[in-house]
Amino acid sequence: MSQHYVAIATYTAKPDTADRVAQRLPLLAEASRQEEGNISYSIARDLERPNVFTIVEVYEDEEAFTAHRESAHFASIGKMQIIPMLESRVVVGYSGDGVID
């Protein structure tokens, strides 16, 4: 089985912006799922800390992930709308099969 590029991001929203982040993340996910090289894009909101979001992205390779981070929709939705509403953002890259059971 070939190895894919898996990015796991943890976004911690400022307390007063969590619901707005929750509204915008699906827009980013929808656009990202249309990218060439994207295999999946999932968002989860922490049940105990509702201002914390985990995003799991799977791409065919690291180049596809790089293209995602350079895309127009990441710039307009991610960089301009979501990231300014965050307290912190941690993104870690992995090599994996892209299957989460």
Distance CA 60, CA 36 (A): 9
At residue 96 the predicted structure's pLDDT band, cuts being 50, 70 and 90, is: confident
Mean pLDDT of all residues in 56-78: 94
Q: Left if phi > 0, otherwise alpha if psi is -120 to 50, otherwise beta: which for 12?
A: beta
Residues 6+ apart with CB under 8 A from 98: 4, 6, 39, 40, 58
Mean pLDDT of all residues in 63-74: 94
What's the pLDDT score for residue 55?
97
Distance CA 53, CA 85 (A): 12
Segment 6-55, tens digit of pLDDT: 999 999 999 899 999 999 999 999 999 999 999 999 999 999 999 999 99
Buried b (16+ CB within 10 A) or exposed e, 50-83: ebbbebbbbbbeeebbebbeebeebeebbeebbe
Q: Write down the pTM of the prediction.
A: 0.90
Distance CA 39, CA 28 (A): 15
What's the pLDDT score for residue 1?
56
